[in-house]
Structure 1
Amino acid sequence: METLSNASGTFAIRLLKILCQDNPTRNVFCSPVSISSALAMVLLGAKGNTATQMAQALSLNTEEDIHRGFQSLLAEVNKPGTQYLLRTANRLFGEKTCQFLSTFKESCLQFYHAELEELSFIKAAEESREHINTWVSKKTEGKIEELLPGSSIDAETRLVLVNAVYFKGKWDEQFDETYTREMPFKIKQEEQRPVQMMYQEATFKLAHVGEVRAQLLELPYAGEELSLLVLLPDDGVELSTVEKNLTFEKLTAWTKPDCMKSTEVEVLLPKFKLQEDYDMESVLRRLGMVDAFQQGKADLSAMSAEGDLCLSKFVHKSFVEVNEEGTEAAAASGCIVIAECCMESGPRW
């Protein structure tokens, strides 16, 4: 699973950089593991150049056993007996008149625990959309309510592959609400906004990364299995400068035990809530995944014997709330496969 972990980390940083470029003045929050899980199920049904492009976009080595890696990751994420709540779920929603290959269905079930539920997109598109959205809402404790937007499902829809992930964890060292107060938070060098700032003084792992001129703080959740990493640029250093120099290899090196030292530190952390909504097609195209969205080029023949299948839409929604008690977060990804695609060679705007 280490190979997949490295690939997932590399994919996450590449994804972050593109989303930051697209929204330089906005907050960015997404779940790379949700996006990659949904895409990996599509990859099970892809062949040829389509499969190669998808694997490269996900930073995966096609010679490795990709899907067994995801199977192990799924088991690790959903393991019982933790002091936090973390779970992920996958599901396929297929047109009842479409014949999906048994090898595809069995592999999705074996590696991703994703059962195929038959719906009638041809006769009841809107009801099917609402049904899928209800499933996602249930799996994310109501935090992701409308994954599939209106008109995203129609009579041409053949399959919707969905992933949902939910997390809730309490801080190992919780913040005292009585210390929370309004304070200015620096958005850019020249801009500040008032926020509800939490405060505590305690011992945490801390490092100064001279390479990018930033501080790295680890805030563990109860049980100390999972943590929130906070990368804070030094005074006078733009966040964009740190982002440009960030790679998964560097982040891994910076967070090694010999770099992070237990330090008595005063922590001021904004209390915040974010909800984001992304149409991932243009992002995935820029990562090199082009053919999957094009009729005549998309090869999803390992999914169904029905010809001319391709992706029409890939949506991702996310939610996160950070407060004195801890963190609650959720995300969902939906990949829509249709029987006909537009003939465009570039991204749709």
Structure 2
Amino acid sequence: MGLRRSIRKQTQVSIRLATHLLSEESPNSNIVFSPLSIHVVLSLMAAGSEGKTLDQLLGFLKAKTTDDLNALSSRLVSLIFADGSLSGGPMLSFANGVWVDKTLLVKPSFKQVLDTVYKASSNQVDFQNKAVKVPKKVNLWTKKETNGLIKKVLPAGAVNNLTRLIFANALYFKGSWSEKFKKSKTKDYI
């Protein structure tokens, strides 16, 4: 599938997500989400799935194969990691990570996709005996990978001994508006 077609399909998924999220919120609330982060994490999950789960993920993401998802994600991830802040562009930090219970086997083919396509950190952890320590590990990883811009993605107690797998994505974006807001036309709402 061509890049333009893949992006068009990803845009359709993003609009569907936004429509769902906005319909759940009150009309006076603000919501921020990253369709790209959601796409990357779901694509990562698809790369490690098979059977009905894979079919459902592919259907939701409007893709025929994991190869299609991996090709798009590889292209997007390489563009994102080309942070424009050094050339005066926006500041961007993007990180993907996977934490797998040490009792589960990670297939070498999935590990290769994690490393090469998604540039994801993969970690074996002991959810069964040390679940309370895992959020701290995930948060330390996030802080390190985003140069301290994001300090916490999991609250204490977010995982327990029934947890087997965590997919994490951290995205930080800071840019300037091409046209600044006129201060006289803004209001603070508390």
TM range (shorter): 0.7 to 0.9
* TM-score (norm. length: structure 1): 0.48
- Please name the residue that 1:6 is paired with: 8
Q: Greater strand share, 1 or 2?
A: 1
- Please name the residue that 2:74 is paired with: 71
Query: Which of 14, 22, 25 pairs up with 2:24?
Result: 22
- Counterparts of residues 141-152 of structure 1 (less than 5 Å): 142=148, 144-152=150-158
- Counterparts of residues 1-349 of structure 1 (less than 5 Å): 1-25=3-27, 26-62=29-65, 65-81=68-84, 82=87, 83-140=89-146, 142=148, 144-174=150-180, 180-181=183-184, 195-196=187-188
Deviations along 1:39-75, whole A, 9 cap, x unmatched?
1111011112211111121232338622011101101
Structure 1 counterpart of 2:8, one-letter code: N
Runs ≥4 in structure 1, deviation > 6 angstroms?
none
Does structure 1 retain, via aligned residues, the 8 Å contact 2:142–2:151?
yes
Does structure 2 retain, via aligned residues, the 8 Å contact 1:139–1:166?
no
Does structure 2 retain, via aligned residues, the 8 Å contact 1:96–1:118?
yes
Distance 2:147 2:8 in 1: 29
Distance 1:63 1:115 in 2: 20
TM-fit CA distance, 1:16: 0.7
Distance 2:67 2:40 in 1: 16
Greater shift, 49-58 or 143-152, is seen at 143-152
Identity of paired residues, percent?
A: 27
Give the direction of change, closer, same or farther, for the CA distance of 1:102–1:72 in structure 2 (3 Å limit). same
- Please name the residue that 1:282 is paired with: none
TM-fit CA distance, 1:87: 3.2
Distance 2:12 2:44 in 1: 19
Deviations along 1:166-194, whole A, 9 cap, x unmatched?
1111234545xxx62475xxxxxxxxxxx
Does structure 1 retain, via aligned residues, the 8 Å contact 2:43–2:66?
no
For structure 2, the residue ranges without an aligned partner over 5 or more in a row are none
TM-fit CA distance, 1:100: 1.3
Bigger relative contact order (CA 8 A; separation at least 6):
1
Deviations along 1:99-131, whole A, 9 cap, x unmatched?
211111111112101131222222211111111
Structure 1 counterpart of 2:72, one-letter code: G
Distance 2:25 2:83 in 1: 37
Greater shift, 70-79 or 166-175, is seen at 166-175
Distance 2:165 2:8 in 1: 30
- Secondary structure of the 1:24 match is coil
Distance 1:139 1:22 in 2: 32
Structure 2 counterpart of 1:118, one-letter code: Q
- Secondary structure of the 1:157 match is coil
Give the direction of change, closer, same or farther, for the CA distance of 1:140–1:181 in structure 2 (3 Å limit). farther
The size of the alignment, in residue pairs, is 184
Structure 1 counterpart of 2:4, one-letter code: E
CA RMSD, aligned part only? 2.5
* TM-score (norm. length: structure 2): 0.83
Point out the structure with max Rg over C-alpha: 1
